[in-house]
């Protein structure tokens, strides 16, 4: 397929991967306070699937994608934080495209030591890990955390980051191969398979349970997560890999020992330039120190976005998935 000079993936109706269509799409010139970026790498995330299927409603038609990296081509009036030629990373709507136009106060300059692909692989996922570990309820040295999907896009950053903080990490994954990778990332113990997870967690913790659960699985993991917590423990349910979790009666939290449940959304924690810069600065610092690494498991051409979605939804991917314009 011959690609047009400027193009985008568009969704005109919700559905399966086949609704992702490639179309010529001239970039929009930046208005005041905006930047125009020629994209070099785009991250793929489960939230892109949630929007595509209609789980998370989105006005139609739209261009998918929530993060990207590229080179600034043009800036609008009043923009001073970046200029043409700068490499930048950003979270925003509509990044499945050759070009991206968005607010300048939502882009962050990339340090020289971090490549475009590395940044696209970790920005949204790494900022999610930052939110979970350091913003909502800061994880403390000596605490015990249960991490579901430790070798997924967020998990590959969440696991070593939690260990860097000084927590004990118990991970839950689906295979011996993924368990070995979770161990390499720093997990202290790994539960393989999804049967009797809470029972195994209790056995590993002397019956006490864990201080916090980081749960990206959703529907099938919810009760196991709640049953793995010690009194006043936190259940951070932040993903829907198995479907949206069923409603939880407040009494269930009381019965578990005054448990706390939160369903955070990253954009509520990066809604100011200051918070975005703080989170990105922390993430990039840990990358440059080698505490975190960008685990790029799959690369697809942007025109093959549908294949990337199929791979991610299949549960067979590992690490981050990238689209390359």
pTM given for the model: 0.87
Gap between the Cα atoms of 35 and 29, Å rounded: 8
Give the HSE-up count for residue 300: Cα atoms under 13 Å, Cβ half-sphere.
18
Q: Where are the beta strands (DSSP E) in 138-259?
A: 144-148, 168-173, 189-192, 210-215, 229-237
Gap between the Cα atoms of 279 and 2, Å rounded: 39
Q: What is the mean pLDDT of the chain?
A: 94
∠ CA 165-270-158, rounded to 5°: 30
pLDDT value, residue 142: 98
Specify the range with the lowest mean pLDDT, choosing from 19-23, 45-49, 63-67: 45-49
Residue 258 has pLDDT above 90, yes or no: yes
| CATH numbers and ranges of domains, the chain | 7-123+270-324 (3.90.180.10), 141-263 (3.40.50.720)
Specify the range with the lowest mean pLDDT, choosing from 96-105, 191-200, 290-299: 290-299
Residue 202 has pLDDT above 60, yes or no: yes
For residues 250, 256, 260, 262, the Cα torsion angle rounded to the nearest 10 degrees is: -70
Confidence of residue 152 (pLDDT cuts 50, 70, 90): confident
pLDDT value, residue 2: 53
User: Average pLDDT in the 66-87 region?
Assistant: 96
Q: Is the Cβ–Cβ distance between 209 and 228 less than 8 Å?
A: yes
pLDDT value, residue 318: 75
pLDDT value, residue 196: 96
Confidence of residue 1 (pLDDT cuts 50, 70, 90): very low
Residue 242 has pLDDT above 90, yes or no: no
């Amino acid at each position: 397929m011959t690609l047009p000079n400027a193009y985008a993936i568009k969704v005109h109706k919700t559905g399966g991967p086949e609704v992702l269509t490639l179309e010529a799409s001239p970039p929009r010139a930046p208005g005041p306070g905006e930047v125009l970026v020629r994209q070099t790498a785009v991250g793929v995330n489960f939230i892109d699937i949630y929007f595509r299927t209609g789980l998370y409603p989105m006005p139609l038609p739209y261009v998918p994608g929530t993060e990207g990296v590229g080179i600034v081509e043009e800036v609008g009036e009043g923009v001073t934080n970046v200029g043409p030629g700068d490499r930048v990373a950003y979270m925003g709507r509509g990044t499945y495209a050759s070009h991206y136009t968005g607010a300048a106060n939502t882009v962050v300059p990339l340090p020289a030591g971090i490549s475009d692909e590395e940044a696209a692989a970790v920005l949204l996922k790494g900022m999610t890990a930052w939110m979970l570990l350091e913003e909502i309820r800061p994880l403390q040295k000596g605490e015990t955390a249960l991490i579901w999907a430790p070798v997924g896009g967020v998990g590959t950053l969440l696991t070593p980051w939690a260990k860097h903080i000084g927590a004990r990490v118990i991970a839950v994954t689906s295979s011996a191969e993924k368990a070995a990778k979770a161990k390499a990332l720093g997990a202290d113990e790994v539960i393989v398979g999804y049967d009797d997870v809470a029972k195994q967690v209790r056995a590993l913790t002397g019956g006490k349970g864990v201080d916090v659960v980081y749960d990206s699985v959703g529907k099938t993991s919810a009760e196991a997560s709640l049953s793995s917590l010690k009194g006043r423990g936190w259940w951070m349910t932040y993903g829907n890999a198995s479907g949206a979790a069923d409603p939880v009666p407040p009494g269930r939290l009381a019965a578990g020992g005054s448990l706390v449940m939160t369903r955070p959304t990253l954009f509520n924690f990066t809604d100011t330039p200051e918070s975005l810069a703080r989170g990105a600065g922390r993430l990039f610092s840990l990358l440059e120190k080698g505490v975190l690494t960008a685990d790029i498991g799959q690369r697809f051409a942007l025109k093959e976005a549908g294949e990337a979605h199929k791979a991610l939804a299949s549960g067979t991917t590992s690490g981050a998935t990238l689209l390359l314009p």
